Amino acid sequence: MKKILVLHGPNLNLLGLREPEFYGHLTLEEINAQLSNLAKDLGAELMIFQSNSEGDLVTLIQEHFDSADAILINPAAYTHTSIAIRDAIAASSRPVVEVHLSNIHKREEFRHHSMTAAVCVGQISGFGLHSYLLGLRAAVEAAED
């Protein structure tokens, strides 16, 4: 069974309450439940974490170098700033898929650049919950058994 590490970055614990015009009304628990349902259909196993801390996200990526077959990550605001997360992704030999609920290219200019996308297989941005669901399909597809 393919094992997928799912990482949610800072402030995503506030989903449901936080700027629903950008991020919708679903809570993180509801998104995780939908991901878990899809994972069952795809025959994948998920390891899901959320952290507000850049260092914790780096450590989680490192700790799963061996145990994850692929990584699905929404680095949230660290997308735009974090060389440390980018380097951790580059150091992992696993395929990584970057997702965003909102279309980052349609928002403020500082969100247009992703530090992390260039070391990922690809980026899915702007489809709300479906960014995550499409991203999970892409991660499972990219993962090696």
Q: 1 or 33: whose CB is closer to ligand DQA? A: 33
Exactly one of 8, 23, 78, 132 is catalytic; which is it?
23
Nearest distance, CB of residue 104 and ligand DQA, angstroms: 5
Chain centroid, CA 143 distance in Å: 15
Known active-site residue 132: no
Enumerate binding residues for ligand DQA (CB under 6 A).
11, 74, 76-77, 79, 100-102, 104, 111
Selection from 94, 65, 4, 73 nearest residue 40 by Cα: 4
Q: Which residues pair with 3 in a beta bridge?
A: 45
Contact (CB, 8 A) for 71 and 61: yes
Smallest separation, CB 53 to ligand DQA (Å): 14
Q: Which residues are catalytic?
A: 23, 100
